[in-house]
Amino acid sequence: MIAFVKGILDSVSEDKIIVENQNIGFEILVPGSVVSELPQVGNTVKIYTYTYVREDALQLYGFLTKDSMDMFKLLITVNGIGPKAALGILTAMDTDALRLAILSDDAKTIAKAPGIGPKTASKLILELKDKCHLEDVFGGVEESFATENVSAGADAKTTLSYVDFMRNLPSSRELQTVGSYNDYLEKQVNKNKKKQSSKKSKKKK
């Protein structure tokens, strides 16, 4: 098994990269989200890999972090989710957002990933909920974390209190009222921005 490939980034396309090591080019399939985080072509890169073996194919799937690779391995254990669908999920959301969606029974958000319908999303939650833990969310950060506003066109980052966020995490029943996990997260981000703006206004006075 190939645990990781470290070498020169030779080329990048929409869903795969080629990494050169010892004059051998490794073609690696990656989530679309990885492409924007890669260094420029010609620089050294380390990619954690999972080797997928079929009768008619031998493919490498790659990730920038071990956490992403471990989540990929979990996803493909779910009946009906293959490597392509798993990559689609990790393209649509990062591992922390996925864990939160699973833990809060947010099938609506997961179903937005390409190739994943409501039934498959619900099955994913059912099979993986016991394998995901809150302490793993956001890398176990306890003091604070940064998160992007998930609405289209958003570019501001807002720091939220990790403790407050976890305390206010909606239950599956509450999600039916507030909408999807993404809707909830957006509301939390906007609420925190208003608080910070209010504090700044008071300081100026």
Name the DSSP class of 155.
Answer: -
Domain check: are 86 and 181 in the same one? yes
Domain check: are 56 and 152 in the same one? no
Domain check: are 124 and 79 in the same one? yes
Domain that holds residue 83: 67-204
Domain check: are 100 and 169 in the same one? yes
Domain check: are 104 and 9 in the same one? no
Helix ranges (H only) for 8-167 are 32-35, 66-75, 83-92, 95-103, 107-110, 118-128, 162-167
> pLDDT value at position 58?
86
CB 26 within 8 A of CB 45: no
At 59-79, the pLDDT tens digits run 999 999 999 999 999 999 999
- Reported as half-sphere exposure (CB side, CA atoms, 13 A), residue 10 has a value of 16
Domain check: are 31 and 60 in the same one? yes
Give, for all 205 residues of the chain, the pLDDT tens digit: 789 999 999 999 989 999 999 999 999 999 988 888 999 999 999 999 999 988 777 899 999 999 999 999 999 999 989 999 999 999 999 898 899 899 889 999 999 999 899 999 999 999 999 898 776 765 544 433 444 434 444 444 344 444 455 555 555 555 555 555 556 666 665 665 666 666 656 666 6
> pLDDT value at position 155?
41
Assign residue 95 the CATH number of its domain. Answer: 1.10.150.20
Closest among 169, 74, 76, 180 to 118, alpha carbons compared: 180
Assign residue 26 the CATH number of its domain. Answer: 2.40.50.140
Domain check: are 29 and 123 in the same one? no
At 78-98, the pLDDT tens digits run 998 999 999 999 999 989 889
Domain check: are 162 and 76 in the same one? yes
Total domains present in the chain? 2
- What angle do helix axes 95-103 and 83-92 make, rounded to 10 degrees? 100
> pLDDT value at position 86?
96
Last residue of a domain, one of 47, 64, 81: 64
> pLDDT value at position 190?
64
Domain check: are 53 and 77 in the same one? no
Domain check: are 19 and 82 in the same one? no
Closest among 33, 37, 57 to 46, alpha carbons compared: 37
Domain check: are 160 and 125 in the same one? yes
